[in-house]
Amino acid sequence: MSTKKNAARVAVQAEPCQKQPDLPSADQAMLTAVAHVQHTLEHLIRARLDDKEWDDKDVDVDFTVDLALAHIRLLRADLPLDRSTFENRWFMAGAAVNLGAQTFSRRDSLYYRRLTTTQRQFEVLVQMVEFVDEEVRYGV
C-alpha cells in the first residue's frame, strides 16, 4: 500500500517529459488574427447573399461589412507592422462592423447573430495579439 502512495507522489513531482511549445511571434499572432477575421467576414458576406429575407433598407450594413473586409485585406497585405499601427487599422475595420451591427434592422436573424459574433472576434483577437506581443517582449 505504501509503495502505491510513494509511486503517486513521485509521478506528481516528476518534470514534464516534453518542452512546452513556444508562443507564436507577435507578427504570427497578427497574421492569424487578420486571416481569421478575413475568413469570418467573407462568410458573413456569403450569408448575406443567401439571406432570403434581406431587405434593401439594410444596404448600408452590407457596405460596412464590405468596407471592413477591404480594410482587413489591406492590413493583411501590409503585415508585419508595429503593434500601434496594427491596432489603429484593426479598430478602424472593427468600427465598420460595429456600425453595421448597431443599425441592422433584423435583430432576430442569423445574419445579425453572425455580425455580432464578428464584433466579438474583433474584440478578442486584438487582445490575443496584445497578450502574445507582451509575453514575447517581457517573458512569461
pTM for the model: 0.82
Q: Is residue 64 part of a domain?
A: yes
Percentage of the chain beyond pLDDT 90 is 74
| Domain range for 131 | 23-138
> With contact defined as beta carbons under 8 Å apart, do 58 and 129 qualify?
no
* pLDDT, tens digit, 9 for 90 and up, residues 85-107: 999 999 999 999 999 999 999 99
Cα atoms in the 13 Å half-sphere on the side-chain side of 95:
7
| Res. 16: pLDDT tops 70 | no
Judge whether residue 7 has pLDDT over 70. no
**Does 100 reside within a domain?**
yes
Helix (H, G, I), strand (E, B) or coil at 113: helix
Domain contains 3: no
9 within some domain: no
Q: Please report whether residue 16 resides in a domain.
A: no
The pLDDT of 9-23, averaged and rounded, is 70
pLDDT tens per residue, range 66-79 = 999 999 999 999 99
Q: Is residue 99 part of a domain?
A: yes
For the cut 80, the answer to whether the pLDDT of residue 14 exceeds it is no
Q: Which three cell numbers stand for residue 52?
A: 432570403
Give yes or no for a contact between 119 and 90, defined as CB atoms under 8 angstroms apart: no
pLDDT of residue 136: 83
DSSP string, 30-43: HHHHHHHHHHHHHH
CA-CA-CA-CA torsion sign (18, 127, 79, 133): negative
In a domain, 102, yes or no: yes
Q: How many domains does one find in the chain?
A: 1
- Any idea what the CATH number is for the domain that residue 120 is in? 1.20.120.230
